[in-house]
Amino acid sequence: MCASNSSAETINIDQSLVRRLIAAQFPQWADLAIKPVEFGGWDNRTFHLGDHMTVRLPSAKHYAEQVEKEQFWLPKLARNLPLPIPEPLGLGKPGEGYPWHWSIYRWIDGGTAKFERIADLVQFARALARFLKALQAIDSAGGPLPGQHNFFRGGELAVYDEQTQQALKTLEGRIDTHIAREIWERALKSEWQNPPVWFHGDVSWGNLLTSKGELSAVIDFGTSGIGDPACDLVIAWTMFRGESREMFRQELTLDDATWARARGWALWKAMIILAGMAGTNSPGGGSSRRVIDEIIADHKFQR
CA-CA distance, 146 to 227, in Å (whole number)? 7
Fold of 112-302: Aminoglycoside 3'-phosphotransferase; Chain: A, domain 2 (3.90.1200)
- Where exactly are the structural domains of the chain? 15-108, 112-302
**pLDDT tens, 99-156?**
999 999 999 999 999 999 999 999 999 999 999 999 999 999 999 999 999 999 999 9
- What is the architecture, at CATH level 2, of domain 15-108? 2-Layer Sandwich (3.30)
Q: Closest Cα partner for 207 from 238, 245, 249, 228?
A: 238
pLDDT at position 277: 84
The answer for 242, left when phi > 0, alpha when psi is -120 to 50, beta otherwise, is: left
Which residues in the chain land under pLDDT 70?
1-10, 39-42, 278-286
Going by the DSSP 8-state scheme, the letter that residue 91 receives in this structure is E
**pLDDT tens, 175-188?**
999 999 999 999 99
CA-CA distance, 2 to 174, in Å (whole number)? 24
CA-CA distance, 55 to 46, in Å (whole number)? 6
Do the domains spanning 15-108 and 112-302 agree at the CATH topology level? Answer: no
pLDDT at position 11: 84
The CA dihedral of 274, 278, 281, 285, to the nearest 10 degrees, is: 0
CA-CA distance, 225 to 152, in Å (whole number)? 9
Its pTM stands at 0.93
pLDDT at position 8: 40
